Amino acid sequence: MSHTHYLLLLLAGPLVLSHSQEVQEPDDTANRTYRESSRWNTSVYQIAPSNADFAFGLYHMIASQNSGENVFFSPLSISISLAMLSTGAGGDTQTQILEGLRFNLSALSVPEIHGGFRFLQHLLDHSATDLRIHVGNALILSQDTQLLPEFASATETSYNSKVLLANFRDTEATTQLINNYVKEKTHGKIKDLVRNLSPDIRMVLVNFIFFQGLWKKPFRSSRTIESDFYVDKDTVVKVPMMLQDQQEHWYLEDRRVPCMVLRMDYKGNDAVAFFILPHQGKMEEVEQVLSPGMLMRWNHLLQNRYFYRKVTLHFPKFSISNSYALDEILPNLGFQDLFTSRADFSNINHEERLQLSKVFHKATLNVNEVGTEAAASTISFATFLSAQHKKRFLIFNRPFFVVIYSTRTRNTLFMGKVVNPTV
């Protein structure tokens, strides 16, 4: 009688910024590789629409289950991990994973999908020198489990996966091994990703993404003051509010959707942050229309020089962190069999029946004067003063949405909703 052993998928997505502006320069080999990689863009762009559909679908599912709370996660980290897992899946399970990730398998072949993720990770790892993005994967494997050569080769080739051996019977030591590895790779931003490992687990898949961005137009810390943030009509909290009043920014007031949209650029021009501020009482209305098409519409509009204007900008300095058990969410997005005995992971190992038990994801967001570390009176809304003052105000003193977007790869790195920047 065969025994079922368990497979664990862990995803860590810190979005961080250090206060030091020293960023290590890539070596000459990396520069040459970057110049040669322009031919890969087509492959990366092929998977971008599916990644976007999955990202927004997952956002709406998480938000619906966490009403009134902060939401923050890395959809790209989750897509990469599930795509890597699909290389070890067989038959209908592989199809279900890839279709759950919104890929049309009649339009894009499985090798093309994995090739797209391979080049995507390479381009992110070789972003502009002022922007640090690092994506990585690891397989923590039981000492007595042998991977099939095809699976080991596929994960190494397309996902640059590192293999670590562990004694899963010593759950405390294995937990420490995994958490220390993730902590190191995320520069200390993701701690205690996993707890209480079961001795039945035979393999753990880990994905992490680290982002360090410096604002192209940083705030002056001397101008940051404590101010009110209106969580809802009954809750007001104090936050450090950053201020700029002599800078031009890309922003617009949408005529079709009741919101203001601010685009903040990072140094290096490989990524931007979109901050979407709904008008008072319009949070749910704006959330309902959030989609890949709406993001692309805002991105297109904010390339018009008309929307590059001087504004008095008030923006909170904050840090938030969120954790999600995705095994409770993914079945609602088409992954019905993934966490059941019907799942087929025979392309990982023929000798043992592996079953996926849990998928954990943890992400942090820190925003301060120099950049992004991966949130008065009732009339202090984001609005314009009367025309006679000839001065525009944009005040993020109530809940807003955030999207961190890789312009180079056309992928959403992080997204979420800041309801209360103090928790």
Within 13 Å and on the Cβ side, how many CA atoms surround 4? 12
In angstroms, the CA 283 to CA 85 distance is 36
Quick check: 375 and 386 in contact, CB under 8 A? no
Report, in angstroms and rounded to the nearest whole number, the Rg of the chain calculated over CA atoms. Answer: 22
Quickly count helices (H) and strands (E) in the chain.
9, 18
- Lookup: tokens for 384: 């314009």
SS3 state of residue 317: coil
Comparing CA positions, the residue from 272, 241, 35 lying closest to residue 131 is: 272
pLDDT-derived band at 12 (thresholds 50, 70, 90) equals low
- Are the C-beta atoms of residues 395 and 314 closer than 8 Å to each other? yes
Q: Does the pLDDT of residue 286 top 50, yes or no?
A: yes
Mean pLDDT of 236-259: 93
Q: What is the DSSP letter of 423?
A: -
CA angle 150, 152, 153 (to 5 degrees): 65
Mean pLDDT of the chain: 82
Q: How many CB atoms lie within 10 A of CB 408?
A: 20
CA angle 282, 291, 396 (to 5 degrees): 40
Task: Count Cβ atoms below 10 Å from residue 369 Cβ, excluding itself.
Answer: 20
Q: How far apart are the first and last CA of the chain?
A: 49
Q: Could you read off the pLDDT of 129-155 as tens digits, one per residue? A: 777 787 878 878 788 778 888 988 888
pTM, two decimal places: 0.85
Quote the strand ranges of 161-298, DSSP E.
161-166, 201-214, 225-232, 235-244, 248-253, 259-265, 271-278
**Residue 373 banded pLDDT, cuts 50, 70, 90:** very low
Q: Is 368 exposed, middle or buried (0-12, 13-18, 19+ CB in 10 A)?
A: buried
Residue 125 and residue 135 in contact, taking contact as beta carbons nearer than 8 Å: yes
pLDDT tens digit string along 172-216?
998 898 888 888 888 888 888 887 777 777 777 777 888 878 888
Percent of the chain surpassing pLDDT 90: 40
How do the domains of the chain map onto residue ranges?
4-418
> What's the average model confidence in pLDDT over 371-394?
37
Task: Answer with the residue of higher pLDDT: 331 or 371.
Answer: 331
Supply 313's token pair.
């900008």
Please state the φ and ψ torsions of residue 245, each to the nearest 5 degrees. Answer: -135, 5
Which has more confidence, 353 or 337? 337
- Given 1.10.357.10, 3.40.50.12590, 3.30.497.10, 2.120.10.30, which CATH number is that of 4-418? 3.30.497.10
At residue 263, the pLDDT reads 95
What pLDDT is stored for residue 82 in this prediction?
A: 92
For 74-124, the DSSP string reads -HHHHHHHHHHHHTT--HHHHHHHHHHTT--TTTS-HHHHHHHHHHHHHHH
Q: What is the pLDDT of residue 227?
A: 95
